[in-house]
Structure 1
Amino acid sequence: MNWTKKSWRNYPIKQQPVYPDEQELNQILNRLEKLPPLVFAGEVRNLQKALTRVSRGEAFLLQGGDCAESFENFGANNIRDMFKMLLQMAIVLTFAGGCPVVKIGRIAGQFAKPRSSDFEELNGVKLPSYRGDIINGFEFDEKARIANPQRMLEAYYQSATTLNLLRGFARGGLADLHEVHRWNLDFLKKNELHKQYIDISEKISQALAFMEACGINTNNTPSLREVAIYTSHEALLLPYEEALTRVDSLSDEIYDCSAHMLWIGERTRALNEAHVHFLSGIKNPMGVKVGPRVSASEIVALSRALNPSNEEGRLNIIIRMGADIIAQRLPEIFKELKKEGLNLIYSIDPMHGNTVKAGNYKTREFDKIMQEVRYFFEIARAEGIYPGGVHLEMTGQDVTECTGGASNITEESLKKRYETQCDPRLNADQALELAFLIADLVKKAKK
């Protein structure tokens, strides 16, 4: 009852930068408040309708994208390749898994990153940690690491451009199912995955030819040529989220118009702190990431705080425990939650709990990633829970950041194209391979 978009400021808060010039910060926030929304309330409501099908076990959630978007790497080709990657994975999950797919990108706003320490040290020099391009610079330089509120404007305009491109790709012909053969990324043509994908493409083309003979075509059936792709990011930098929170003129409800879906991370999900309070007052679908120390009672309390009306399609519990721990912790949690009658979506983030060091590089082993996904599906089925989605850090580029998979990236080959500014991502090869493996698990879950 006492919620306003500013009331989070009365609560304890973690993972926030300290801006040296508060007057400049307030000027930037005032400007952001007057700029147009990045997404619209109607789009957000459409997403919740789609996620309602996921919560009922009628669809599957594919959420993926960059660990952290970069101002420097921003460009139409990278956005296009991420779009194509999501389409490819969705096609595999839909066709091979026999399930409609809700597609949400970690894109058009994923600029802020939580850090385990406020400071980094290199060669005896200690500087503030890099917290994402929306806050400070990646370069290990004293000036670059100062929190700069001007970066919020850059993030806004880059997000607006990204959304413009995504909407164009989604409705302008690139998503046409007749173009399914062209969605392949060039470097995928070198391996066995290409053959699997081409096989699916040919079957889809045959089905489209049959449908066209029956009078069903792209002219009278828009769903054959258009897709819905939604955006999401971690709602970490609350001044930015506050500035983009608006009252919908049709419903008088409050939406955070920086993205269609927001989530809270493992480090900021404390029940009586600012991030949970802020998200409790907006109407967007949202997620909460939970690690190996979470209890069922904590998830119940978070659900009651964030989704007090127990709406379908509103709250996604994103599990990130690690392949070596999930089998010990998750069964009991699912047993307890099953008794509560809560309308929750459960999805798996198999990335964060499987991060290891390989020399000077952070990496993730593909086999561990797949193992955690497999355990998630098996445990969910055993406990009568629908395994509703997957949450991945991935890229449409041919990077070498996670070891293993069909592309056989070794620790030695990590240095070839290790380009992430934060955490290691699956490349397009590995993401597509994972999609084929998940498709089989989805098919079993639907039976």
Structure 2
Amino acid sequence: MPSPTRMMLHNEGSTTVLLQSLVGSALSAEVLPDVTAGPQPASGHVAEVFGAVPHTALGIRHSRLRDSTGAVVSENLITFRHSDREHVIPGGDTPFGLHTRRLGLYERRRIFSAGVTTDRFGMLPAGSPGRAYEIAFSNRVTVLVHEVFNPRFVATGSPENAPGAAPNDGPAAAAPAAADAHHQPRWPDAAQAERVRRVLGHVDPLVSAADCRALRSRLATPAFLLQAGDCAETFRDNTPRSVVNRVGLLRDMADRITAASSARVVTVGRIAGQYAKPRSSAVERRGGHVLPSYLGDAVNAVEFTAAGRTPDPRNLLRAHRESSKTLSFMAGSGVFTSHEALLLDYERPQTRRCPDDGNRYGLSAHLLWIGERTRSLTGPHIEFATAVANPVAVKLGPGCTPEDMLALHGVLNPRNQPGRLTFVLRMGRAHAYERSRLLLAAAAGAGLADRFVSDPMHGNGVTSAKGVKTRTMRAIEEELRAFFEACRDTGTLPGGVHLEVSGDDVTECVDAEIDDAYLAERYRTSCDPRLNPAQALRIADLVGHLLAGTPAAEPALSLTA
């Protein structure tokens, strides 16, 4: 690493002053909206700076330093006690370092870590130099600082990370990956992708901000969330009959749950936008052929050909048109829409500010969720979710710790508002009770207002003798029972269920024993196996039964102000 960079990462003086000297320009701060950190775990750097007890009175000042041309020079997070705000935190857009120097305070720095980032941090890419450290001021105020520098100004010294570096032309380039580390497509024509983004920035919104607020209000009540639909929608199957079948199944499932439990049900479909999927492998191998994986119709085609698997940004426009068609088929159904907010080239242009409340909404769906693979706290997907006022959800797998969950809550729901954030637990039946109970207990202890939902499907995939992906009803039912048991043992109201279902009589999930002959009858999914209507209604009956045995969290009385 170059010596100027080492000096920047390990210096004990004002970073802002050093940066101004390095960049050759005065720096100004772009201050993002205040974040209340919420309950912080008594671990990591927070514990080192503020003590090994849970903290509920911390704030975060997020700012970007820019040079005279407007280029981002660094991203900065200052974590502080609310009681210390007036002592050291600038009230305007003054850089933090310049502000504290003007106060005449002496300071002592303790550097915890320094190096390069593994994920995107704000507007700066992975591989940017950064550090975390404590500042103890002479007026007894202490803060925790995270700062990441633009590698354009503070180089890492690694040629492959240098701006404008040539791509690797070695053997691996013979079969290029279809997506990057954040599961974003690598569009072969950057100019065409930019044109598509501009078009999406002017298309009619698929949903309204008012309806997003209506869903968020309904999710703020003790009602039960039924979220279900296709694993991955396809353009080919987007027909009136298919949509009517799917919506009809969702309504039948909701009726079954209500009939068995008397619970009010909020019905949200995986529909009108679920055209993209993250994949565990960037490539697919068939025999001796290797091609990019199928990432959903919004990116490339399911057909195993070089042309079909080449990402095409024009598919994003087709996804918008098909979603609009689906909504016309759904008119008056009473079902809200949702999909995974995976493709940022699709989601960001459709984010608009609402003149009614001044908030920004992702208007591609009522509810947007972040997947298990893309929920990095410093990644671009969580950054996107923090910027929209929709109800949002995050998938959590068995590797999620209470600290991870509390940190996500602190970023996505800093005001701890009911209806804003849903955690979808996808643990697999072997870990369902143990891992769910751990997270639910931590949430209860911290007083989180977030909703907790069970996804009993994604952790229970198996492969048949002939290599066909499937799921067993037995495993799905066992994980649901474990989730409800964990809720009961932690005093948590079960918040809902998240399922992949088809409105058609497919043969993709089996009862208990895996049967390749049965799977071959009507295996239609382009990605993961779905429940058919009979299986889906069976799960709805089980959910209703389990919900009926759950004590109500509060009297069934709804009041309006």
TM-score, normalising length from structure 2? 0.66
Distance 1:33 1:294, change over 3 A: same
The structure whose residues are more often helix, as a share, is 1
Give 3-state SS (helix, strand or coil) of 1:92's partner.
Answer: helix
What is residue 204 of structure 1 aligned with on the other side? Answer: none
The reply to whether residue 126 of structure 1 matches residue 285 of structure 2 is no
In structure 2, the gaps of 5 or more residues are: 1-30, 34-63, 65-120, 127-180, 553-561
Give 3-state SS (helix, strand or coil) of 1:339's partner.
Answer: helix
**Alpha-carbon separation, structure 1, partners of 2:271 and 2:220:** 22
What is residue 210 of structure 2 aligned with on the other side? Answer: 42
**Alpha-carbon separation, structure 2, partners of 1:91 and 1:446:** 20
The reply to whether residue 10 of structure 1 matches residue 124 of structure 2 is yes
What is residue 510 of structure 2 aligned with on the other side? Answer: 403
What is residue 201 of structure 1 aligned with on the other side? Answer: none
> Which has the higher relative contact order, 1 or 2, with Cα contacts under 8 A spaced 6 or more apart?
1
Letter of the structure 2 residue corresponding to residue 433 of structure 1: R
1:139 corresponds to which of 303, 318, 321: 303
Kept in 1: contact 2:453–2:497 (CA 8 A): yes
What is residue 492 of structure 2 aligned with on the other side? Answer: 385
What is residue 104 of structure 1 aligned with on the other side? Answer: 268
In structure 1, the gaps of 5 or more residues are: 171-227
What is residue 155 of structure 1 aligned with on the other side? Answer: 319
Kept in 2: contact 1:97–1:440 (CA 8 A): yes
What is residue 66 of structure 1 aligned with on the other side? Answer: 230
Q: CA RMSD in A?
A: 1.7
What is residue 104 of structure 2 aligned with on the other side? Answer: none
What is residue 193 of structure 1 aligned with on the other side? Answer: none
The reply to whether residue 419 of structure 1 matches residue 524 of structure 2 is yes
Kept in 2: contact 1:59–1:101 (CA 8 A): yes
- Shift >3 Å, 4+ stretches: 1-4, 7-13, 408-411
What is residue 39 of structure 2 aligned with on the other side? Answer: none
User: How far did 1:167 drift?
Assistant: 1.7
User: How far did 1:309 drift?
Assistant: 1.3
User: How far did 1:410 drift?
Assistant: 3.6
Kept in 1: contact 2:433–2:485 (CA 8 A): no
**Alpha-carbon separation, structure 1, partners of 2:456 and 2:434:** 15
The reply to whether residue 257 of structure 1 matches residue 363 of structure 2 is yes
User: How far did 1:310 drift?
Assistant: 1.1
Q: Deviations over 1:159-206 (max 9, x none)?
A: 0111122124x2xxxxxxxxxxxxxxxxxxxxxxxxxxxxxxxxxxxx
Kept in 2: contact 1:401–1:424 (CA 8 A): yes
The structure whose residues are more often strand, as a share, is 2
User: How far did 1:73 drift?
Assistant: 1.2
User: How far did 1:385 drift?
Assistant: 0.8
What is residue 59 of structure 2 aligned with on the other side? Answer: none
What is residue 185 of structure 1 aligned with on the other side? Answer: none
User: How far did 1:412 drift?
Assistant: 2.4
**Alpha-carbon separation, structure 1, partners of 2:438 and 2:308:** 46
Kept in 1: contact 2:122–2:378 (CA 8 A): no
User: How far did 1:32 drift?
Assistant: 1.0
1:240 corresponds to which of 346, 351, 365: 346
Letter of the structure 1 residue corresponding to residue 501 of structure 2: M
Give 3-state SS (helix, strand or coil) of 2:550's partner.
Answer: helix
User: How far did 1:132 drift?
Assistant: 0.4
Equivalent residue runs for 1:81-96 within 5 Å: 81-96=245-260
Q: Deviations over 1:75-122 (max 9, x none)?
A: 000000001001100111112111010000000000110001111111
Q: Deviations over 1:127-163 (max 9, x none)?
A: 1111000000100000011110110011000001111
Identity %: 41
Letter of the structure 2 residue corresponding to residue 273 of structure 1: G
What is residue 434 of structure 1 aligned with on the other side? Answer: 539
Paired residues, number: 382
User: How far did 1:433 drift?
Assistant: 0.6
**Alpha-carbon separation, structure 2, partners of 1:137 and 1:331:** 40
Give 3-state SS (helix, strand or coil) of 1:162's partner.
Answer: helix
What is residue 307 of structure 1 aligned with on the other side? Answer: 413
Q: Deviations over 1:220-260 (max 9, x none)?
A: xxxxxxxx210000000001100110011211110000000
What is residue 394 of structure 1 aligned with on the other side? Answer: 501
What is residue 482 of structure 2 aligned with on the other side? Answer: 375
TM-score, normalising length from structure 1? 0.83
User: How far did 1:8 drift?
Assistant: 6.0
User: How far did 1:409 drift?
Assistant: 8.0
